[in-house]
Amino acid sequence: MICNVREKGNKKLSGVIDRKEEKMSFVTSDKMLADAQRGRYAVGAFNVENMEMVKAVIAAAEEAQAPAMLQTTPSTVRYGSLETFVAMVRAEADKTEIPVCLHLDHGDSFELAIQAIKAGYTSVMIDGSKLPFAENAALTRRVVDVACAVGIPVEAELGRVGGKEDDLKAHADQNTDPDQARQFEELTGVSSLAVAIGTAHGFYVGEPVLDKDRVAEIAAKVKAPLVLHGASGLSESDVRECVSKGMCKVNFATELRVAYTGAVKKLLAEAPKTYDPKKLGLAAMEAVKEQVIARMKMCGCVGKAFV
């Protein structure tokens, strides 16, 4: 049975995590992904590295009237700290009515996932995909037991997405088996599930070969919303087809970094005497904002903030 994150108050785990109630715009991923699943579109999930990217994603969401998921990976957390990103995202969410979620992407340990929840993250991922099936399920269940007690949804990954995401490497794709996905959901009660269909983290060296029909096969066997990792560099038609077949959340990371640094490089090339970090940040924010809006259109979530 899928964990219903609206049912809180597990007495056995009460007191393990003390969280403050958030305002309505700073929300979990539960409703936005359920709405996407029902409406046959996807929520764009965007990896952020600093204040400028946080502001850019939320500004894009406001302009597009779209729900927004902001994500940080373990290496980004080490760079800025869980508490720093919670403070930045909460501060920007307080300025808008758009639903905003802060998600731990590719959480690599039980301890980090729980620390993120304690710090104020409103969604977490535990990535045990490098482990054997039983160990992945056991680790995921352990996180779910704690997270669900305080109303926080949990994403997990089954199968292996190729490429590189921060410190996580997969040298070969291992696409998700639909029957295993159903079993994994039953064992873990996971809220959403990242599945492998031939995508890769980072930019693609060659033309990706995606098993899009597998998305529909998995969606027919599990209740949890499905997540597409490795979307940077995919064509618009690829993303739209994956969404039409059941993907409810689509992750974008590498291309946002490229947009950010590209804007800074362009400004410095045009005005090499620029030394004010604010001017660099403004240029970067505008580039990231444009990229995010384009990806929200691709996912079909524009205008879906208040469905």
Per-10-residue mean pLDDT for the chain, 307 residues long?
47 51 81 98 98 98 98 97 98 97 97 98 97 98 98 94 46 78 98 90 59 95 96 87 96 95 98 98 98 97 96
**Bind-site residues for dihydroxyacetone phosphate:** 202, 230-232, 251-254
Dihedral (CA of 155, 161, 165, 169) sign: positive
On whether the CB atoms of residues 254 and 49 are closer than 8 A, the answer is no
β-pairing, 226-228 vs 168-170, is unpaired
For the chain, domain boundaries: 22-204+211-256+287-299
**Would you call 145 helix, strand, or coil by DSSP?**
helix
Q: Can you give the pTM of this predicted structure? A: 0.88
pLDDT at residue 2, rounded to an integer: 53
Dihedral (CA of 177, 178, 181, 183) sign: negative
To the query of whether residue 177 is one of the catalytic residues in this protein, the response is: no
- Tell me which of 18, 30, 35, 105 is the catalytic residue: 105
Question: From the CA atom positions of the chain, what is the Rg in Å?
Answer: 18
**Would you call 166 helix, strand, or coil by DSSP?**
coil
pLDDT at residue 269, rounded to an integer: 98
> What residues contact 13, with CB distance under 8 A and at least 6 apart?
145, 146, 149, 150
CATH says 22-204+211-256+287-299 is which class?
A: alpha beta
pLDDT at residue 232, rounded to an integer: 80
On whether the CB atoms of residues 121 and 82 are closer than 8 A, the answer is yes
pLDDT at residue 230, rounded to an integer: 84
Distance CA 56, CA 281 (A): 10
The length of the chain is: 307
pLDDT at residue 173, rounded to an integer: 52
Which of these, 115, 140, 114, lies nearest to 126 by C-alpha position? 140
What is the DSSP secondary structure assignment for residue 160, as one 8-state letter? Answer: B
pLDDT at residue 7, rounded to an integer: 43
Q: Which helix (H) or strand (E) holds 267?
A: helix 254-270
On whether the CB atoms of residues 114 and 133 are closer than 8 A, the answer is no
What is the DSSP secondary structure assignment for residue 241, as one 8-state letter? Answer: H
Distance CA 46, CA 69 (A): 6
pLDDT at residue 206, rounded to an integer: 52
